[in-house]
Amino acid sequence: MRLRRIRLSNVRRFDAPVEVAAIADGLNVLSAPNERGKSTLFDAVQALFFAPHRSRAQSVMALQPHAGGGPEVSVEIETSNGLFLIEKRWLSRPQARVMHGARLIAQADDAEAWIASLMGGDSGPTGLLWVRQGLTSLDQRDGGAIEARRDLLSSVAGEVEAMTGGRRMDAALRRCREELARYQTQTGRARADGPLAAAQKDVSALADRHTALSEQIATLEQALTRRREIRRDLAELRNPEAAQFREARLAEATAALTRAERHAEALEKATEALALSKLKLAQTSQALDAIKAAQRELAEAKRVAEEHKATRAEAETMLAEAQARLVDAERAAKTTAGAAAEAGRVLNAALRHEAARESAHRRAELIARIERAEAVRARRDEAMVRAAKGPTFKQIAQLDELAHALATARRLHTATAVKITMAHMSEGAGGVTHDGVALPEGEPVTIPAQAVLSLRGLGQLSIDPGGQGGAATDVAEAETALKSALDRLGHAHRDSAREAAQARQVAEGEVQEARATFQVLAPDGLDPLRAALAALPDALADDSLPPSVEAQAAHDVAEAARQAAVAARESALSRVALGRERAARAAAAEEGAAERLARATTSLNGPNPTAREAELAAAHSALAAELSAAEAHHAELLRDAPDLASARAARDRAQSVIEAVRAEVGKLTLELGQLDTLIDLRASEAVEEELADTEARLVAARAHLERVTFEVAVLRRLEAALDAARTQARERYFAPVMAELAPLLRLLWPEADLRFDDATLLPSTLIREGQEEGLDILSGGTQEQIALLVRLAFARMHARAGHAAPLILDDALVFTDDDRIEAMFDALHRQAADLQIIVLTCRQRAFRDLGGNRLTIAPVSGEG
Amino acid sequence: MTFRFIHTSDLHFGRRFGTFSEDLRGRLVEARHGAIARLAVVAGKHDAAHVLIAGDIFDTETPSPPVLRQALAAMAEHDAVHWWLLPGNHDSLAAESLWARVARDAPANVHPLTTAGPVPLGPGATLLPVPVTRRYPGRDLTEALDAMPSPEGSLRIGLAHGAVVGFEEDATGVIRPDRDRLAGLDYLALGDWHGAKEISPRTRYSGTPEYDRFRRSGRGSCLVVSLEGPGAPPRVAQVETGQFQWVDRRLDLLPGQETAAALQAVLPTGGRRDTLLSLRAEGRVRLPDRAALEDAAEVVAPEFGFFDLSLDSLETEFDAADLDEIDRGGALRSAAEGLRHAALDDGLADDERRLAAAALNRLYGYLRGGMA
C-alpha cells in the first residue's frame, strides 16, 4: 500500500477542505511551521485507518472543529490491485466507504472490515507505520517522560513489542486485567472490597456462626442428658422400697447401739469393782508389812540404846581421868617457868658483867689512837699549806725553756748586730758613751738598734744599724716572755723560782707521809673510832655473879624443865578435849537410840501387835480371793463386749444415708428446675433450625468461594497465557527485525565499530578510537532514533514480504543533533528507494537538506 | 367395611432453605406449611378420617414457637381428620421438650404418639406406633410390633420411621423388610424416605408431601391406603400434594449439537415459577456452542423459581475454526493455541486442564464478535 493523496474536510482548523496531493513513492517531505496542521493531518490519517466511523472515542472527538459537524477524511491509496479511495465521516451522519475508481467496493462495516484487512488483519505490525513527534510509543505507553533513559535492548525490544503486540491483544489483556483487578490487588492479594474477599468473609462468618450454634446445641444436649440423669436418680432415690429399707436399717442399728451401750456400762462397773478390790488388798498387805517391820525395829532400837549407854559411861570416865592429869601438868608448868626465868636473869647479868670488863682496854687504846691520828692530820695540813706554795717543776721547766730561748735570741742578735769598737785616744778614754756607759776600749760593742753615742765634746753620734731590727725584736720578745713568766710565778729570778720549787717538792713529800700514817690509824676516819669509844659500856662492879658459862648451863637446865612441863600440859589438854568429844558423841548416840526406841515403841501402839498381825493376815487372804473373783467377772464381760464404736458408726451411717438422700433429692430437684427452665428457653430458640440453615448457607458460601477462586485462577491463567504469547511474539519478530536493524544501527555511530551480542543480536559494545564503550544508557535522542530505525526495519520487512507499508514521521528527531540528522537522512534516502516515507516537520531549515518530494497542504480547488 | 387413611411423612417443618434467595426461601417455607391443608383436602376427597404421619414432622428437635404453634393450629383447623404424629429421627423422643410442648398444646384432633403401644383408630382398626427414641437408635425398633397386642379381628396398622435393611446402599438400615409378615401387620406405614416407595405390598414409604431437595425429580405426594379387612391386601393410591416441582436433570451434549435446542428440550414446560431446576450439562461441545448454551440459559433462567446450570462437567472442544474467531495468527492466536493445548493435555492435572479450558473460553468471550 502506498498513500497517494490525503484530503481533510471539517477537521479542526480546516473547516474548508484541504489536501495533500501527489504523494510519491520514496521520500516525501511536508515541511511547514507549527500550527499549520501537520499534526491534524497525522491524526486524521490515523483515525481513518483505526477509528470506526461510529466511534465517538476521544481521538475522534478531537478531530471535530469548534463549529461542530462531522469531520471527514479521505485517503487515496494504491495497492497491487490499483487505486482505491477510502472515505470516512464521524459523529454527524457517520459513514465509511471504499471506492475503486467510481465503483463503491464497500461501505459502513464492510468498509471497516476492508480497512482492517488492509491494515494487516493478523496481529503483526500494522500496514501503516509512524513515528510521532519526539515520542516513542514505548514512552507513551509507560507514561514516562522522554528523559527516561533506556538501554539499547529495552529500547529496541519495547519498540518491537509495540509494533507486534496488536491492538486486539492489548484490548484482551486490558480487559482480563480489569476483571482481575476486581478481585485482587496489584500484588496479587484479595481486594478488600472485592468479591473474593467478600466470599472469604462470608465463609468465615458462617463458619463462626456454625461453631457458635453447635456449641449452643451441645449445651442444650448436655442439659437434656443431665436432666434425664437427674430424673432417673430422683426416681431411684424416691423409690419407697429403698426408703423402707433405709429406715429399717436405721432402727436395727439404733437397737444394736443401745445394747452395746448397756453392756459397756456393766463393764465399767466391773472394772471399778476390780480396781477397788485391788486397792483394798494392797492396803491390807501394806499394813501387815508395817506391823512386822515395827516389831523388828523395836528390838533393834533396844539393843542399840543399851550399847550406847555403855559407851557413854566409858567416855565420861576417861574424861575425868584426863582432867585430873591436866591439873597436875599445869602446876608443874608454872613451877618450871619460874625457875627458868630466874636462871635467865642470872645469865644475863653474868654476861653483862663480862662485857664491861673487856671494854676498858679498848677505851684506852681507842683514845690513844684518836690522839695520834689527830696529830698526824695536823701535820699533814701544815705540809699541805706549804706544798701549795712555789712553782711546780713543770713551771720551772717552762721558765728554763724561755730562758734558753732568750739566750738563743741574744746570741743570734749579737752575732748579727753592728759592732763598734772604740779605740780611744789616750786622753779620750771614756769620752764616748752609749747610754751613759762608756764604750770599752778595743772591745766590740754591739749596736742592736739605733744608738746614740755621746761623743764627748763632739756631740752625739747616731748609729742606725738598718736591717738589724728583727733580731733585736726577737730578743726583746724573749725577754718579755721570760719576764712575764717570772712575774706570774711571783719571782724575780729563775733561781729563786727554782728554790721555791724545790721547797714545794719537800712539802709534798711530807703530805704524802702524813696521809699514809693517818690511813693506818683511822682507815675510816675519826668518827667511827669516836663512836666505838662512845659505845663502850661503862664497867660494873658485881662479883656475886657466877661466871657466864655456869649461868648458861643453869639456864639451859631450867629451860628444858620448863619446856617438858609445857608439853605435858599440852598433852593433858588434848586428852581432856578428846575425852570431852567422845563423851558428847556417846551422849548424842545414846539420845538417838532413845529416840529410836521411843519411835519404835510408838509405832507399835496398840495393845497386842501379834494379834493384830494375825488378824491382818486373815483379812489379806480373804481379799485376795475377792480380787480373783472380780477379775474373772471383768474378763468375762470384756470378752463378750460388742464394739460400741462400730455400733455407733453403723447407726450414724444409716442415719447419714437417709439424710444424704434427703439432701440429694433437694439438690437434684433444684437442678432439675434450673434445667427445665434452661431447656424450655433453649428449645424454643430454634437453635437447630438456625444451625441447619447456617450449615446450608455455609455449603453454598463455600461453593461460591470456590467459584470465585476458580474465576480468579482462570483470569490469572489467561493473563499469564497472553503475557507469554506477547513475549513470544516479540521474540519471534525480534530476530528478523534485528537483521534489518543491524546495518541501520551502524548509522548511529558511524565513526565507531559495533560489536553484536550473539544472544540478543544487539550491539553490546561500540569501539570508538580503539576504546570499548558500553551501550547501557541511551540519550533521548538515541532512543528516538532507534524508534525510527525500528520502524524502518519493519517497513523493510514488510516490503520484503510483499506488502509495503508507508512510514509517516511526525516531527520525529526533535532531540537529534545535526550530525545525526544527516545520518538519519542518509538512512531515509537509502530506505526510500523501495519504501514510501512521509516526513512531517516544522524544522524547515534542518530538513531542507533532506531532499525528497516536497508536499504541501493546499485548499482543494474546485470539486477535488 | 373399608378402612381408609392417609399415609404421609417427613414434613420437616422448620426447614429454612438457606441456600436459596430470600424470596424463594419464603415461598418454599410457605409451601411446606401449606402441605397440611393439601393433605386435609386429599383426606376429605377420599373420605379418610385419619392422617398418619410417619415421623419427621419437625426438622429439628427445637422448632421455634411459630413453627410449632402454626403447624398445630393448621391441623386444628382441619378437625374433620385426626392427625397422628409419630416422632421420627429428626424429632425423636429425645426432644423431650418438643413433645412436652406438643402434648400441652395439641388440639383434640392431634395425637402425639410418644409411646410404643396399640392405639384404637376406630372400630376394627388398631394403630401400632413405634416412636423413634433417639436420633440414631441403632436397632430395629419395629421388633416391638411383633408382640404388640391388638383386639381380635382388628386391623393391625404399623407406623414407624427409619431405613429398611438393604434398601439404601449407603444407609445402615435396621428395619427388617419382612416386618409386616413377622408382626402380622395389615399395613406398615414407614417414614424417612422422601420419595414414595413400595417395600412390599404391605410395607411402604409414603414420601414427603412437599419436596425439599433435588435428590429426585418430581412433586411431593401422599398415599391413600384402603384396607378391606384383616388379611386382605391393601389398596394404595399415590396422590400428588407438592406445590413445588423439584427437577434435577442431566443435559447430555455432543459436539456439533445445537445446544440451545438441547436445553429447551429438557426444560419442563408449565408451572415454571413453581419449578426448581438443577441442570448438569455433560459431554462435549464446541466453543461457540458452549457460548450459545450459556446465552440460552441466561435467557430462560428467570422464568424459573430456581435455575442452575452446571457446566463443570461439560468439556469444551476447540477446533481451528473456533480459534480463528479469536485471531487468525499472531500473539493472540498463539496464546489461544497454548491454552487449548493445555486444556487437552492428558499429562496435566485435571485442575490445570479445567483452568486452561476456562481461560480459553474467556478469551473467546472477549474477542467473539469483534472488539469493543
* A532-557: pLDDT as tens digits: 888 776 655 566 777 778 888 888 88
Residues near B295 by beta carbon (within 8 Å), at least 6 away in sequence: B260
Residue type, A541: A
Partner-chain contact A689 B60, CB within 8 Å? yes
Mean pLDDT, range A664-671, rounded to an integer: 88
Distance from CA of A255 to the nearest CA of B (A): 47
- The chain A residue lying nearest B365, using CA atoms, is A172
Does A372 score more than 90 pLDDT?
no
- Residue A863 CB-density burial (10 A; 0-12 exposed, 13-18 middle, 19+ buried): exposed
Distance of CA A534 to the CA centre of its chain: 103
Distance from CA of B363 to the nearest CA of A (A): 7
Collapsing DSSP to helix, strand or coil, A19 comes out as: strand
* Most confident segment among A348-362, A401-415, A442-456, A720-734: A401-415
Instruction: Give the B-side interface with A, CB within 8 Å.
Output: 14-19, 59-65, 67, 94-98, 101, 327-335, 338-339, 354-356, 358-359, 362-363, 366-367, 371-372
Mean pLDDT, range A335-362, rounded to an integer: 82
Collapsing DSSP to helix, strand or coil, A7 comes out as: strand
Does A864 score more than 60 pLDDT?
no
Strand B187-191, strand A836-841: pairing: unpaired
- The chain B residue lying nearest A704, using CA atoms, is B19
Mean of per-residue pLDDT scores for chain A: 80
Please tell me if residue A713 touches chain B, with a CB cutoff of 8 Å: yes
- Helix (H) / strand (E) element for A820: namely helix A818-832
Mean pLDDT, range B75-100, rounded to an integer: 89
pLDDT reported for residue B222: 93
Q: Where are the alpha helices (DSSP H) in B22-174?
A: 22-45, 65-77, 96-105, 143-147
Partner-chain contact B63 A689, CB within 8 Å? yes
Does A120 score more than 70 pLDDT?
no
- Please, are residues B31 and B17 in contact by the beta-carbon 8 Å criterion? no
Residues near A162 by beta carbon (within 8 Å), at least 6 away in sequence: A136, A137, A138, A141
- b/e per residue A15-46 (b: at least 16 CB within 10 A): eebbbbeebbbbbbbbbbeeebbbbbbbbbbb
Tell me the Ramachandran region of residue B256: left when phi exceeds 0, alpha when psi lies from -120 to 50, beta otherwise: left
- Helix (H) / strand (E) element for A516: namely helix A494-521
* Residues paired with A433 in a beta bridge: A438, A454
Residue among B62, B356, B362 whose CB faces A685 most closely: B62
Collapsing DSSP to helix, strand or coil, B245 comes out as: strand
Does A270 score more than 80 pLDDT?
yes
Partner-chain contact A696 B61, CB within 8 Å? no
Q: Which A positions 688-707 lie with beta carbon below 8 A of chain B?
A: 688-689, 691-697, 699-700
Strand A18-20, strand A437-438: pairing: unpaired
Please tell me if residue A686 touches chain B, with a CB cutoff of 8 Å: yes
Angle at A821 between CA A819 and CA A826, to 5 degrees: 100
Most A CBs within 10 Å, among B11, B12, B19, B22, to test the A interface: B19
Distance from CA of A850 to the nearest CA of B (A): 36
- Helix (H) / strand (E) element for A529: namely helix A526-535
Please tell me if residue A220 touches chain B, with a CB cutoff of 8 Å: yes
Distance from CA of B200 to the nearest CA of A (A): 33
- b/e per residue A697-718 (b: at least 16 CB within 10 A): bbebbeebbeebeebbbbbbbb
Mean pLDDT, range A417-437, rounded to an integer: 76
- Give chain B positions within 8 Å (CB) of A721: 335, 338-339, 356, 359, 363
Using only the alpha carbons of chain A, give its radius of gyration. 90
Cell 512521509 belongs to residue: A838
- b/e per residue B315-325 (b: at least 16 CB within 10 A): bbbbeeebbeb
Angle, helix B350-367 to helix B287-300, in steps of 10 degrees = 80
Distance from CA of A728 to the nearest CA of B (A): 7
Partner-chain contact B14 A686, CB within 8 Å? yes
Question: Is pLDDT larger for residue A730 or for residue B293?
Answer: B293
Question: Is pLDDT larger for residue A840 or for residue A154?
Answer: A840
Does A141 score more than 50 pLDDT?
no
Distance of alpha carbon A648 from alpha carbon A258, whole angstroms: 9
Question: Is pLDDT larger for residue B8 or for residue B172?
Answer: B8
End-to-end CA distance of chain A: 22
Partner-chain contact A728 B334, CB within 8 Å? yes
B37, three cell numbers: 391443608
Question: Is pLDDT larger for residue B72 or for residue A849?
Answer: B72
* Residues paired with A842 in a beta bridge: none
- Give chain B positions within 8 Å (CB) of A169: 330-332, 335
- Give chain A positions within 8 Å (CB) of B95: 683
Partner-chain contact B371 A168, CB within 8 Å? yes
Mean pLDDT, range B275-301, rounded to an integer: 87
Distance of alpha carbon B23 from alpha carbon B31, whole angstroms: 12
- Residue B283 CB-density burial (10 A; 0-12 exposed, 13-18 middle, 19+ buried): middle
The DSSP annotation for A825-838 comes to HHHHHHHHTTSEEE
Q: How far is CA A787 from CA A450, A781, B214, in A?
A: 154, 10, 64
Q: Is the ipTM of this complex over 0.95?
A: no
Q: How far is CA A385 from CA A157, A495, A508, A806, in A?
A: 160, 22, 9, 178
Residue among B18, B334, B367 whose CB faces A725 most closely: B334
Does A262 score more than 80 pLDDT?
yes
pLDDT reported for residue A540: 58
A762-765 long-range contacts, CB within 8 A, separation 24+: A762/A152, A762/A153, A762/A156, A762/A738, A763/A152
Collapsing DSSP to helix, strand or coil, A9 comes out as: strand
Please tell me if residue A292 touches chain B, with a CB cutoff of 8 Å: no
Most A CBs within 10 Å, among B12, B97, B325, B364, to test the A interface: B97
Distance of alpha carbon A729 from alpha carbon A173, whole angstroms: 15
Cell 442452575 belongs to residue: B308
Closest C-alpha among A468, A486, A473 to residue A403: A486
What is the pLDDT confidence band of residue B42, given thresholds at 50, 70 and 90?
very high
Residue type, A611: A
Distance of alpha carbon B259 from alpha carbon B253, whole angstroms: 7
Angle at B150 between CA B145 and CA B155, to 5 degrees: 90
Distance from CA of A713 to the nearest CA of B (A): 7
* Residues paired with A756 in a beta bridge: A763
Distance of alpha carbon B99 from alpha carbon B106, whole angstroms: 10
Partner-chain contact A688 B60, CB within 8 Å? yes
Q: What is the DSSP letter of A546?
A: P
Please tell me if residue A171 touches chain B, with a CB cutoff of 8 Å: yes
Does A586 score more than 90 pLDDT?
no
- The chain B residue lying nearest A729, using CA atoms, is B331
End-to-end CA distance of chain B: 78
Please tell me if residue A122 touches chain B, with a CB cutoff of 8 Å: yes
Torsion of CA A199, A204, A209, A211, to 10 degrees: 140
Mean pLDDT, range A99-126, rounded to an integer: 73
- Please, are residues A315 and A618 in contact by the beta-carbon 8 Å criterion? no
**pLDDT tens digits, one per residue of A7-29:** 988 888 888 888 888 888 888 88
- Would you mind telling me the total number of residues written for chain B in this entry? 372
Distance of alpha carbon B214 from alpha carbon B212, whole angstroms: 7
CB pairs under 8 A between A and B: 146
Mean of per-residue pLDDT scores for chain B: 86
What is the pLDDT confidence band of residue A466, given thresholds at 50, 70 and 90?
low
Distance of alpha carbon B226 from alpha carbon B237, whole angstroms: 9
- Helix (H) / strand (E) element for A661: namely helix A644-683
Question: Is pLDDT larger for residue A170 or for residue A706?
Answer: A706
Residue type, B153: G
Mean pLDDT, range B305-316, rounded to an integer: 86
Distance of CA B312 to the CA centre of its chain: 23
